[in-house]
Amino acid sequence: MSATTPPYGEVTLSIDGPVATLTLRRAAKLNALTPEMLEALGGHLTTVAGSDARVVVLRGEGPKAFCVGADITRFQGLTPVQMLAWTGLGHRVFDALAALPQPTVAVVHALAFGGGLELALACDLRVAADTAGLGLPEVGLGTVPGWGGTERLTELVGRARAKDIVLARRTVDGPTAEAWGLVNTCVSAEDLEPTVDDLVSRLAAGAPVAVTLAKQLIDAAANGAPARILERLAGAVTSATEDLATGIAGFRTGTPPQFAGR
């Protein structure tokens, strides 16, 4: 932790052209999340949602951990009512992350446990190093995953594997996480940044309106919405954008289109 980082940690936001980067900064505590960090993250998400950023990248500071979850010292001893507020805060922030109009990428370079893995699960895509370790060990502390982990994990890996990870407190390595569908891509530590850069470039190159609509369509379909109706409506919306004309012109001329997002 640097001299300028408060003891309860912080979350910083930087926007460089089309890429917004959110960084958990509490390396001395393995980026364990505090209420202050969650509040800061929530504020940054509001900023990002209204920005011109086309892709959001989520990182954890330091070599040892993406995030090891909630700071135990901040929730031990809470009353049931206080625990409801604590878990509610996490749900609100993580749901806001999942609902961003831009695609989101979690860079899991090291440990992602508990609320840290749940934070990564709230992103659209996850890229992991082969040295990463992922798990939801809460039952070993006498509690349960509380920030959407049971739902999002089960959606990705299925009921049986979710129970293996949660009930048996299994730490999943990067290659296994990829094989199980817990992360999208697993690469060596030295290839992690080039892989993330390539993915971010691909995401940023898409037509922003179409990317946002496609993300919403996929999420809606996963929740049981009628895709045939929504796809027709979304297609009608894209027909009114300048980006569609730009994309068609680029296809005809064989040149990469430069989308303006309108």
Helix axes 159-167, 149-157, angle to 10 degrees: 130
Q: Any idea which residue has 């037509």 for tokens?
A: 207
Say if CB 44 and CB 59 are below 8 A apart: no
Please name every residue paired with 105 in a beta bridge, in sequence order, or none if there are none.
Answer: 57, 125
- Give the CA dihedral 78, 81, 82, 85, nearest 10 degrees: 140
- Catalytic one of 138, 151, 178, 193: 138
Three-class DSSP category at 82: helix
CA torsion sign, 103 to 108 to 58 to 187?
A: negative
Measured between alpha carbons, how far is residue 65 from residues 34, 59, 142, 148 in Å? 15, 10, 23, 20
- Point out the catalytic residue in the list 39, 118, 155, 193: 118
Angle at 235 between CA 233 and CA 241, to 5 degrees: 115
Residue 259 CA from chain centroid, whole number: 24
Name the nearest CA neighbour of 178 among 159, 196, 156, 197.
Answer: 156
Cβ neighbours around 42 below 10 Å, total: 17
Q: Residue 178 catalytic?
A: no
Which tokens is 259 given? Answer: 């989308």
| 154 and 162 Cβ atoms separated by less than 8 Å | yes
- Clarify whether 39 is annotated catalytic: no
Q: Which residues are catalytic?
A: 118, 138
